[in-house]
Amino acid sequence: MAGKQEFVARFGGIFEHSPWVAERAYDARPQMPITAEDVHAGMVVAFRNATETERLDVLRAHPDLAGKLALAGNLTEDSKAEQASAGLDRLSAAEHARFTELNSAYVEKFGFPFIIAVKGLTKDNILEAFESRIGNTPQQELETAAAQVEKIAWLRLQALLPGDADV
């Protein structure tokens, strides 16, 4: 069984730039070997029990899709791989302009970047979701974005721990 420092080092990046989620999940976990599902469940509880400001900070830690950080090559390795898997690193000039326009409108309306678990999606699927979700109310979108963050965390955890190995 890993100590807290090792646990946070291993899982601190699961929720984008928010190691406090892993710290709180560790503090609340039972003192026995646990599975990837247990790690995810504990991290989701820590995220959901956080203050609204803390949850918003997690949302705001996510990069814009096909945004400035991607163009500059400054995404985390997870974000870079996730965006590339959906073809967001190969957009035409017109597609990039549309993503930029939507990113700006979305952040202006909601105060955090558009977040979607891109695994298995195409750029067209993502644009469709973007255009649909921008019509949500702030509360609807806060709930949707938080659910997407939890889904991204699960996908990252599965990639880190294939076969749901005990940790």
Q: In the prediction, which pLDDT does 91 show?
A: 85
Q: At 115, phi and psi to the nearest 5? A: -125, 130
CA–CA separation, 84 and 89 (whole Å): 5
Give the angle 160-161-167 at the CA atoms, nearest 5°.
120
pLDDT in tens, 77-112: 776 777 777 788 788 889 888 988 999 999 999 999
* Per-residue model confidence (pLDDT) at position 72: 46
Instruction: Quick: pLDDT tens for 49-83.
Output: 999 999 999 999 987 776 554 454 555 677 677 77
All structural domains of the chain with their residue ranges: 62-135
pTM of the complete model: 0.85
**Which residues carry out catalysis?**
62
Is the Cα torsion angle 39, 51, 75, 137 positive or negative in sign? positive
Write down the CATH number for the domain with range 62-135: 1.10.3330.10
pLDDT digits (tens, 9 = 90+) for 136-148: 999 999 999 999 9
